[in-house]
């Protein structure tokens, strides 16, 4: 009897169906849709970085710089029609600006020119500012000239100040001296204005 009961209980227990538990295994990686989205994000980021770098970091190429017009031989009669070039015979045009610190630093040299140049050399200051403002500026710097004209410096072929242009009686530019000159170049200019000999143009960057 004891063995029969144990067998029945064991048989009853074994007849109970086992509980089935489903365990979801983790996926091995992102889905295809996620991969496509990630790739698209990376591509957009790279393109945006390239555009921003090109716009803000890489300097844009501008139009090629214009060559300065050769001033030697340029006729000033049309640019400065109010000047009596023939009557002056020899005119030194000082292309200046009241806002040019190199002009101010060159004031002692301009004073030397006024004192040491030949007596027949007339000094004409040309500035983009008004005549009254130009006269006041020159007087404040102790530079005495024979006349002051107002004109856009580009109309006389000048792209930088100070620029000195010896002009003959026909109104043609004979030489060009640009920038704040070194002492050796200043001596060459003084020598040219003393004897009227034509010199090779001196340009200081």
Highest mean pLDDT among 1-10, 16-25, 73-82: 73-82
Q: What angle do CA 192, 198, 204 make, to 5 degrees?
A: 70
Among 38-42, 61-65, 128-132, which stretch is predicted with the lowest mean pLDDT? 61-65
* Domain-located, residue 53: no
Per-chain mean pLDDT for the chain: 80
* Domain-located, residue 180: yes
Q: Report which of 93, 103, 116 is spatially closest to residue 179, judged by C-alpha positions.
A: 103
Stated pTM of the model? 0.63
92 pLDDT above the threshold of 80: yes
Q: What is the CATH number of the domain that holds 171?
A: 3.40.30.10
Domain membership of residue 171 as a residue range: 85-203
201 pLDDT above the threshold of 70: no
Q: Which residue has the higher pLDDT, 183 or 51?
A: 183
* Domain-located, residue 46: no
* Domain-located, residue 148: yes
Q: Report which of 111, 105, 91 is spatially closest to residue 164, judged by C-alpha positions.
A: 91
178 pLDDT above the threshold of 60: yes
Alpha helix locations (H) across 57-119? 85-88, 101-105, 107-116
* Domain-located, residue 24: no
Rounded Cα distance between 101 and 123, Å, is: 20
* Domain-located, residue 47: no
Q: How many CA atoms lie within 13 A of 146 on its CB side?
A: 17
185 pLDDT above the threshold of 90: yes
Averaged pLDDT for residues 122-140? 97
Averaged pLDDT for residues 24-28? 52
* Domain-located, residue 48: no
Query: For the chain, how many structural domains are there in total?
Result: 1
* Domain-located, residue 40: no
What is the pLDDT, as a whole number, of residue 103?
97
Confidence of residue 57 (pLDDT cuts 50, 70, 90): low
Rounded Cα distance between 193 and 176, Å, is: 12
100 pLDDT above the threshold of 50: yes
Distances (CA, A) of 45 to 48, 58, 178, 182: 5, 18, 51, 55
> How many C-beta atoms surround the C-beta of residue 5 within 10 A?
9
The answer to whether residues 149 and 80 touch, using CB atoms and an 8 Å cutoff, is yes
């Amino acid at each position: 009897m004891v063995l029969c009961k144990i067998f029945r209980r064991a048989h009853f227990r074994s007849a109970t169906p086992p509980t089935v538990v489903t365990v979801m295994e983790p996926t091995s990686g992102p889905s295809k849709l996620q991969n496509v989205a990630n790739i698209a994000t990376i591509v957009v980021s790279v393109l945006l970085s390239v555009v921003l770098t090109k716009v803000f970091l890489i300097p844009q190429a501008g139009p090629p710089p214009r060559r300065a017009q050769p001033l030697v031989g340029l006729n000033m009669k049309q640019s400065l029609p109010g000047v009596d070039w023939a009557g002056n015979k020899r005119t030194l045009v000082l292309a200046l600006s009241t806002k040019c610190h190199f002009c101010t630093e060159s004031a002692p040299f301009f004073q030397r020119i006024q004192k040491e140049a030949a007596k027949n050399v007339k000094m004409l200051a040309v500035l983009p500012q008004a005549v009254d403002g130009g006269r006041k500026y020159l007087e404040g710097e102790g530079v005495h000239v024979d006349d002051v004209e107002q004109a856009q410096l580009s109309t006389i072929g000048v792209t930088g100040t100070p620029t000195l242009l010896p002009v003959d009686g026909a109104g043609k530019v004979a030489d060009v001296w640009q920038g704040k000159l070194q002492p050796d170049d200043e001596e060459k200019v003084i020598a040219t204005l003393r004897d009227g000999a034509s010199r090779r143009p001196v340009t200081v960057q």
